[in-house]
Amino acid sequence: MTAQTGSPSVGPHRNAAGVGLVIVMAAGSVVVWLVSPIAWLWIASRMTDSSQPSLGPYLLVLVGMALTAVVVGKFLGIVNRTHMRVTGRISDKREHATWNRSMRGERRSTTDRGVLEQVMAISVSCALVLFGIWFFVFAGSSLPS
């Protein structure tokens, strides 16, 4: 145990593994926001020959992106728990759900959620900024001149 944090010390090999797992989480977030939509749009575009497709390709894109997000999200949750285990941040103490706690009990939450929350918040922020740049700078106006 380290004197400052009270958590077990983490060796350099665990730090390297932790960094690698954070990189995997960042790559997974790129898959959710960039690779999945492009891939499903490409698949749907191959299903139709006209510029006015029926409802089928649109539903394929919608359902495909949702299912891909669920699968990648589950995978990222597994990677996050592995990261917490490798870096020594996971606790074996059983936590009660917030709604199942006493109103007079401890008010502070002590649950460590890992780094996935921060990775996803950063990736969503980057996606929104990049979308805004594309929309306002590169997309051009659809309004008549």
33-44 b/e (C-beta count within 10 Å ≥ 16 → b): beebeeebeeeb
Ramachandran region of residue 140, left (φ > 0), alpha (ψ -120 to 50) or beta? left
Chain segment 24-63, per-residue pLDDT in tens: 999 999 999 889 999 999 999 998 888 787 888 999 999 9
E strand segments, 36-109: none
Q: What is the mean pLDDT of the segment spanning 76-100?
A: 80
**How many angstroms separate the CA atoms of 70 and 33, rounded?**
13
Mean pLDDT taken over the chain: 83
